[in-house]
Amino acid sequence: MLQRLSEQLTQEFGKGFTVTNLKYMRQFYMTFPNGHALRGELTWTHYRALLRVENEAARNWYVEECVCSGWSSRQLERQISTLYYDRLLASREKASVVDEANALMEPLAAENFIKDPYVLVFRKV
CA 17 vs. chain centroid, Å, equals 19
pTM tops 0.75, yes or no: no
pLDDT at 85: 83
Question: Among 41, 72, 46, 43, which Cα is nearest to 59's?
Answer: 46
pLDDT at 94: 63
Tell me the average pLDDT of the chain.
Answer: 80
Using pLDDT thresholds of 50, 70 and 90, give the confidence band for residue 25.
confident
Tens-place pLDDT, residues 58-85: 888 889 888 888 888 898 998 888 888 8
Q: Work out the angle at residue 105's Cα, subtended by the Cα atoms of residues 101 and 110, and round it to the nearest 5 degrees.
A: 165
Tens-place pLDDT, residues 109-122: 555 555 566 666 77
pLDDT at 68: 85
